[in-house]
């Protein structure tokens, strides 16, 4: 695929997105293309650094650039305000200035954290996303949302800060554990269910290959999901338009609540989103006119991809409290993104507490 250059109406700059199998070793030339920076902090976590940081650093240095690694602990708990403050300190110790840049080499945790550091350090420096999980390649590296979690909930402090470049190398997925791969597929399904009926139908046709993690099928899913997301976010960069970017939060109201209620030690983000989508589809049948057959299609796809049907037993009161804390709430209560048809998720709406509670109990919450 040729580079996809996303021009954001409100941003002073654009974001160049390249899907390049094996492209990690070409990071240096990509960096020279997308930024004038000559010095880079390459932020990653221990797992990713062990496997892939050496080649990233060599490629940057080979292109005549200066590169230093900053390696953090893996896991969602790294996406916190204390870790962000430590990262700022490391950047100052390195003496990074406003002409320098950050590379986020890792999954969504590293992308969100390093992206937010780039948004805030010296009031903003360039950053390049080099996503290494399927979830980050199909979803979190596109659209410029960066954030850290607060004790009260996920992503509660953050900024929109577009990376100047996104380099997607599908070969990096060869080292990704199967469970993480499946969790990433949940966000591909979400893109189809929320905004792209043709993508959803494509997933149905390639289910066996996707479930097996066949590289060609994954590459096809990555390209289609990125295009679907880019179409939506370039029209509604800051999630303000009714029915625009908010549609991509399908499954996330509950997904985030499950993660927060389990202290980020429970299901993976994509697994929690899968459960959230099942409940959002059930509610869509009840109040948004979704055909039960369409809900069954979603259930069948999630089942075939090995994504969970129910959450681990979680007290209803904790889930409801977490949903109220989520930033997608409004003054009047928790809003749900529902869909009347596959690929047409719409404006978030309030739903009767009784219906929500019944759906949560059915999905594994305990009274």
Counting contacts by CB under 6 A, is residue 15 touching ligand NAD? Answer: no
Active site residue 269: yes
Residue 239 has which token pair?
């999630």
Distance CA 102, CA 72 (A): 14
User: Would you give the binding string for ligand NAD spanning residues 236-275, x where CB under 6 A is met?
Assistant: ---------------------------------x------
Nearer Cβ to ligand NAD, position 179 or 349? 179
Counting contacts by CB under 6 A, is residue 70 touching ligand NAD? Answer: no
Distance CA 240, CA 214 (A): 37
Active site residue 55: no
> Is the CB of residue 160 less than 8 Å from the CB of residue 9?
no
Counting contacts by CB under 6 A, is residue 110 touching ligand NAD? Answer: yes
Interface pick for ligand NAD out of 25, 69, 74, 80 (rule CB under 6 A): 74
Distance CA 47, CA 180 (A): 13
Counting contacts by CB under 6 A, is residue 172 touching ligand NAD? Answer: yes
> Is the CB of residue 336 less than 8 Å from the CB of residue 282?
no
229, 234, 278, 335: which one is catalytic? 229
Active site residue 229: yes
Counting contacts by CB under 6 A, is residue 193 touching ligand NAD? Answer: no
249, 278, 295, 297: which one is catalytic? 249
**Angle subtended by helix axes 215-235 and 178-195, to nearest 10:** 40
Active site residue 14: no
Active site residue 161: no
Counting contacts by CB under 6 A, is residue 6 touching ligand NAD? Answer: no
Distance CA 139, CA 190 (A): 10
Cβ neighbours, 10 Å, residue 313: 8
Binders of ligand NAD among residues 111 to 150 (CB under 6 A) are: 112, 132-133, 135-136, 139-140, 143, 145
From the list 106-114, 207-215, 219-227, 239-247, the region that binds ligand NAD by CB under 6 A is: 106-114
DSSP-derived letter for residue 338 is -
7, 123, 265, 354: which one is catalytic? 123
Closest to 192 in 3D by CA, of 250, 137, 142, 235: 250
In sequence order, what are the residues at sequence separation of 6 or more whose Cβ sits closer than 8 angstroms to the Cβ of residue 323?
Answer: 253, 254, 256, 257, 329, 334
Counting contacts by CB under 6 A, is residue 308 touching ligand NAD? Answer: no
Distance CA 139, CA 362 (A): 28
Counting contacts by CB under 6 A, is residue 196 touching ligand NAD? Answer: no
Closest to 335 in 3D by CA, of 346, 344, 343: 346
Active site residue 239: yes
DSSP-derived letter for residue 330 is B
Catalytic residues: 123, 145, 187, 229, 239, 245, 249, 252, 256, 269
Q: Which residues bind ligand NAD (CB under 6 A)?
A: 45, 47-48, 51, 74-76, 79, 106-110, 112, 132-133, 135-136, 139-140, 143, 145, 154-155, 172, 175-176, 180, 183, 269
């Amino acid at each position: 695929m040729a580079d996809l250059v996303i021009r954001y109406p409100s941003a002073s700059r654009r974001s160049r997105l390249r899907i390049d199998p094996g492209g990690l070793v070409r990071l240096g030339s990509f960096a020279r293309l997308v930024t004038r920076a000559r010095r880079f902090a390459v932020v990653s976590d221990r797992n990713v650094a062990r496997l892939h940081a050496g080649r990233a650093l060599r490629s940057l240095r080979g292109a005549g650039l200066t590169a230093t690694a900053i390696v953090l602990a893996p896991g969602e708990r790294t996406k916190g305000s204390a870790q962000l403050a430590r990262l700022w300190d490391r950047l100052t110790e390195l003496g990074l200035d406003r002409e320098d840049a950050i590379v986020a080499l890792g999954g969504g945790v590293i992308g969100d954290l390093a992206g937010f550091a780039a948004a805030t350090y010296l009031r903003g420096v360039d950053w390049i996303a080099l996503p290494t999980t399927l979830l980050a390649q199909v979803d979190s590296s596109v659209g410029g949302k960066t954030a850290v979690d607060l004790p009260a909930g996920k992503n509660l402090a953050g900024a929109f800060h577009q990376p100047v470049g996104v380099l997607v190398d599908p070969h990096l997925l060869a080292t990704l554990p199967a469970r993480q791969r499946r969790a990433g597929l949940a966000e591909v399904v979400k893109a189809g269910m929320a905004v792209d009926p043709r993508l959803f139908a494509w997933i149905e046709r390639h289910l066996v290959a996707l479930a097996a993690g066949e590289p060609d099928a994954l590459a096809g899913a990555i390209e289609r999901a990125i295009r679907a997301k880019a179409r939506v976010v370039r029209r509604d960069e800051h999630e303000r338009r009714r029915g625009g970017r908010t549609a991509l939060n399908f499954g996330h109201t509950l997904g985030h609540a499950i993660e927060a209620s389990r202290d980020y030690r429970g299901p993976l983000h994509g697994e929690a989103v899968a459960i959230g989508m099942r409940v959002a589809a059930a509610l869509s049948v009840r109040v948004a006119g979704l055909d039960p057959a369409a809900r069954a299609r979603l259930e069948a796809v999630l089942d075939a991809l090995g994504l969970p049907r129910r959450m681990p037993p979680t007290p209803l009161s904790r889930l409801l409290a977490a949903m109220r804390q989520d930033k997608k709430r409004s003054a009047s209560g928790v809003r749900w993104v529902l869909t009347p048809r596959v690929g047409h998720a719409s404006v978030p709406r309030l739903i009767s507490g009784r219906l929500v509670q019944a759906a949560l109990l059915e999905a594994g919450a305990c009274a």
